[in-house]
Chain A
Amino acid sequence: MPVKNVYEARIEHLQILDEEARLDEKLAKWPDGRPVLTDAEVLELYQYMVRCRAVDDLAFKLQRSGRMGTYPQNRGQEAAAVGAGFAAKRGVDYLVPCYRENAALWMHGLPMHYVLLHWMGDERGNQIPDGVCQTPLCIPIGTQMLHATGIAWAFKMRKEARVAITFFGDGATSEGDFHEAMNFASAFQVPCVFFCQNNQWAISVPRESQTASETIAQKAVAYGMPTTQVDGNDLFAVVRASTDAIERARAGGGPSFIEAVTYRLADHTTADDARRYRDAKEVEAWQKRDPLIRLRSYLQARKLWDDAKQAALDDEAKAAATEVVRTAEGIEAPSTDEMFDYTFAAPLPAELELQKRTLQTHSLGQDPAQAGLSAQQA
């Protein structure tokens, strides 16, 4: 009996704007001839990425000067976040993030200062405004992907032409929930896009130690969903692959997987020191592939950008970032009621009301009822 080949897989890598900022003119157009990104769009997205970088840089400084807690810098991954965010429809599609795609969240309507508020230790940074379709930052790894699958499933049940897109890193692909989310999503053909920001490092563990798979993208093959690898520092490639995946999902084609190959240019968080575990030469090499540098070179080559415009943008972005910080720092500290009031929908259980009163009125001791005493005995 001859051995039969029962399955074959192929993983493609998409790059449209290469490291030298050369554009593949063919891939930069859809089959119908429309550009993947118009000049106006590239200009707008580039400037937006610079503004996001300015907030990210300032957030780092806030932590260093003791004005904010631990913060995970997004530096270097802006093309991935912005490209995916651009491909999704604001107010329609649902973003389900981890914590290194701020630019996508802001594009979809989350006020910038919310992210700072979160890292300043205030839950109101997660209080997503009405009409903004996203879940808050998710701190444990990979768990949010199941929520994305569930949200997408609800869209499918209600026959809404909406898509959920979830973000996670290369480290998350080792978590059980990653596999369960992918399996549920494909078993039920829900409109969900799994967007992996493979930034090469899960804190100190390099991508090659995380998994023996040659690519992250191939993991999706096991779940029977379309999958591709893209240059995650190439805005064009990210937009093209994300649009493909999102529109396929919207049209009823089920889930897709995207591995965006990028690099975490900063430490894992401000509490980390990446010099302990990674080679400076590696970081230098990736700095040259910084998506902002690549996009600026492209725009300058096309005479759409120049140094004077850059200087003006840098000033404007810095001022805007300062304004974001001012907004976040201007918000009054939360009242202690808040930690009780949102444990359940009102009315709170009697015991919780009692504990709330204890904190409000007897901060140096117990409410008499809490101690089992009547007011007279107290």
Chain B
Amino acid sequence: MPLMTLVQAINSALAQEMERDERVVILGEDVGLNGGVFRVTDGLQAKFGPDRVIDTPLAESGIMGTAIGLAMAGMRPIPEIQFEGFLGPAYDQLCNHAARYRSRTRGAVTVPMTVRVPWGGGIHAPELHSDSPETIYVHQPGLKVVCPSTPYDAKGLLLSAIRDPDPVVFFEPKRVYRSFKEEVPEEDYTIPIGQAKVLTEGTDLTLVSWGSMVFQCLEALDTLPDDMSVELIDMRSLYPFDTDAIVQSVEKTGRCVIVHEAPKTCGLGAELATVLQERCFLHLKAPVQRVAGFDVMMPYYKLELDYLPNAQKVAQAVGQCLAY
């Protein structure tokens, strides 16, 4: 089984699905000749031609809006928005159109498309290249939102997303695009949207995260005393999210720390904590805790590591929660 980075796994899934389904087209800024600014679509234009891997004019609303039209007309477009900070101009098309069409036409018009978006901080990028806006899209009815953290999950979730009959926002944690390789099957496989993954099993505390923060959690686990048994859950899907996975875990452990890099207030962690107190109130031995970004602008990169949660902060929160 080949070893792949996250970038290679996504590239492999795209190539495989384009081979399988001629309705699939990729469109975006610099995705063709240049293979994308992160090279995620590298080589795909050479393989599938400029009519299927399309360099568009520089206009995010245009990319999203024409992708909607393509999807309505029976294609399976995969628009790429170059950085999450540039979802702004496309917000209207994504939320007010793509998300709404099935509902407002009572099923007559649907928009099966997968919006790929490099996401999150930690790569010393310029302004508006490091944000974590997932909650905005999780809160929008009609959108599915996923954020895989590993190459294996990225391929399986991307194939699910492309085949999904509804719009899916596919956030790619750019901080871990190339940070490690893992075995990724060459054959076709899917990971259902809506399923979390237990990365490490444990009995004392449940640690919940997604995207590149998963790796800060793993690093934190390495620093904890051996007698602390922590269960780490990678949500992978942010809407719909896997309520059963976190509820079952917290019913067992009675304690939970949620880690995300988006601003704390009304971040997805707030929703997960609420679900846990609704569903596991009598099992809880401590308040659910959050280690999150602050309610501030994502700072320029000199302060970015001060903004982002890290292994030390996570380990401290785990210790405090266990000592409560």
Contact among A94, A344, A372 for B142, CB-based, below 8 A: A344
Contact A124 B106 (CB under 8 A): yes
How many interface residues does chain A have, given as a range? 35 or more
- Interface 1/0 per residue, A105-143 and B, CB below 8 Å: 000000000000000000110111100000110001001
A365 to nearest B CB, angstroms?
A: 15
With the chains together, A294 CA to B70 CA distance in Å? 40
Contact A176 B61 (CB under 8 A): yes
Chain A contact residues, majority secondary structure: helix
Contact A123 B59 (CB under 8 A): no
Interface string of A24-44 (1 = CB under 8 A from B): 000000000000000000000
Identify the closest chain B residue to A94 (Cβ).
B73
A372 with B107: CB separation less than 8 A: no
Q: Which residues of chain A are near B97, meaning CB under 8 Å?
A: 143, 147
Report whether A150 and B59 are in contact in the complex, using a CB–CB cutoff of 8 Å: no
CB distance from A207 to the nearest CB of B (A): 24
B109 touches A135 (CB 8 A): yes
- The tally of residues in B whose CB lies under 8 Å from a CB in A reads 50
A339 CA / B74 CA spacing, docked (Å): 24
Q: Which of B56, B59, B61, B102 contacts A342 (CB 8 A)?
A: B102
A344 to B110, CA, bound (A): 9
A129, A154, A187, A349: residue with the most chain B Cβ atoms closer than 10 Å: A154
Residue of A338, A349, A371 contacting most chain B CB atoms (<10 Å): A349
Q: Among A151, A184, A350, A372, which residue has its beta carbon within 8 angstroms of that of B59? A: A184
Known contacts: A157-B25, A343-B142, A344-B144. The answer to whether A123 contacts B69 by CB under 8 A is no
| A344 & B102 in contact (Cβ 8 Å cutoff) | yes
Contact B56 A136 (CB under 8 A): no
> Pick the contact of A123 from B57, B106, B164, B278 — CB < 8 Å?
B106
Given contacts A180-B62, A345-B164, could you give 16 more A-B pairs where the C-beta distance is less than 8 Å?
Answer: A123-B103, A126-B105, A135-B109, A146-B93, A150-B73, A154-B69, A154-B74, A157-B70, A177-B93, A184-B56, A342-B102, A342-B107, A343-B142, A349-B240, A352-B240, A372-B281
| Chain A residues within 8 Å of B, Cβ to Cβ | 94, 123-124, 126-129, 135-136, 140, 143, 145-155, 157-158, 164, 176-177, 180-181, 183-184, 187-188, 338-339, 342-345, 349-352, 371-372
